[in-house]
A and B are shown apart, each in its own frame.
Chain A
């Protein structure tokens, strides 16, 4: 009998304790982010896919298509092609795309870039219905950003006869 009463009282106490937790959370502020309607700002350290940094001096990217990023990438994600700028000895990137389905966001491409042309974006809405949807054209993204900022769009330099390198044409097919 004594054990029965004790069990009843213990059960009643545990019921109250459990309800106490519920009631405490009931009066606390709501922590849920109502995602499609309200969005959190990504933290500065968040790593989305890479994108071009817009150079404030030129209003365009700084990529000279040295392909250090493509060579250092452990997954072979990056496809970059460039053409020689007429009159100079420099190259300039004309296409840059990444296969984001393979990217592990290690950041080696950002670190290795000699002109600091790359940075991580804060893009996260990237789901798609096929693997083709995850090939991201970073040059097109840069052009969209330039249009949004009202910056003049860069006209890619016309390839000279000898400047159109054969490997540029070969890797241009892969990212289509």
Chain B
């Protein structure tokens, strides 16, 4: 969680971790980027009708260094993957990924050599939001699911996911 690195493994910080997770879930800052039509629904989610600011997410950060959450909104082409993976790697830990829409989840209708058949081949996706495109409510529901996940499944699991399930990232970074 960060603080253990300073203190060593001598001090138990379980309760503190709960407080920190609570704070993290209430201030998830998404990275500003959209890839295709799902991005329009993501923009609408940030606008006043659905108002993503109610969840502490109003600040879509233009710099990945300041973002916690990557909403992969739209079709990821093979050509775009290096940029997406670089943005993800530039984001500071802890970080989460939402695959929004059919194309980001599985490639959708684009069964093609040019389109990534699911961004989960390259990034550890936490929440999948299906739909073509999903409603803003659908994205908000996915964000609420992510909040639940952050509370009950702290960041440590995501960091050691490679050791827990190495098959998930067997395709590696394909650039």
Please state if B128 and A101 are interface contacts (CB–CB under 8 Å). yes
Please state if B127 and A128 are interface contacts (CB–CB under 8 Å). yes
Residue count of chain B within 8 Å CB distance of chain A = 31
Within 8 A of B (CB), among A116-153: 124-131, 133-134
Please state if B128 and A131 are interface contacts (CB–CB under 8 Å). yes
Could you show 29 A-B contacts with beta carbons less than 8 Å apart?
A31-B48, A34-B54, A35-B50, A35-B140, A39-B137, A40-B137, A42-B135, A46-B135, A74-B109, A100-B102, A100-B131, A101-B105, A102-B108, A103-B102, A104-B132, A105-B132, A124-B131, A124-B135, A124-B137, A126-B131, A126-B134, A126-B141, A127-B127, A128-B145, A129-B145, A131-B118, A131-B128, A134-B105, A134-B130
Residues of B contacting A74 in the complex (Cβ-Cβ under 8 angstroms) = 109
Residues of A contacting B134 in the complex (Cβ-Cβ under 8 angstroms) = 124, 126
- How far is the CB of B69 from the nearest CB of chain A, in Å? 14
Chain A residue with minimal CB distance to B141? A125
Please state if B149 and A104 are interface contacts (CB–CB under 8 Å). no
Query: Which residue, B108, B118, B131, B135, has most C-beta atoms of chain A within 10 A?
Result: B131
Within 8 A of B (CB), among A25-45: 31-36, 39-40, 42
Instruction: Convert A73-99 into 0s and 1s, putting 1 for each residue whose CB lies closer than 8 angstroms to a CB of B.
Output: 011000000000000000000000001
Within 8 A of A (CB), among B130-154: 130-132, 134-135, 137-138, 140-142, 144-145, 149
- How far is the CB of B54 from the nearest CB of chain A, in Å? 7
Identify the B interface with A (CB < 8 A).
48-51, 54, 102, 105-109, 111, 118, 120, 126-132, 134-135, 137-138, 140-142, 144-145, 149
Query: How far is it, in angstroms, between the C-alpha of A125 and the C-alpha of B134 when the chains are bound?
Result: 9
In-complex Cβ contact of B109 among A46, A104, A129, A134 (8 A): A104
Residues of A contacting B130 in the complex (Cβ-Cβ under 8 angstroms) = 100-101, 103, 126-128, 134
Chain B residue with minimal CB distance to A39? B137
Chain B residue with minimal CB distance to A73? B109
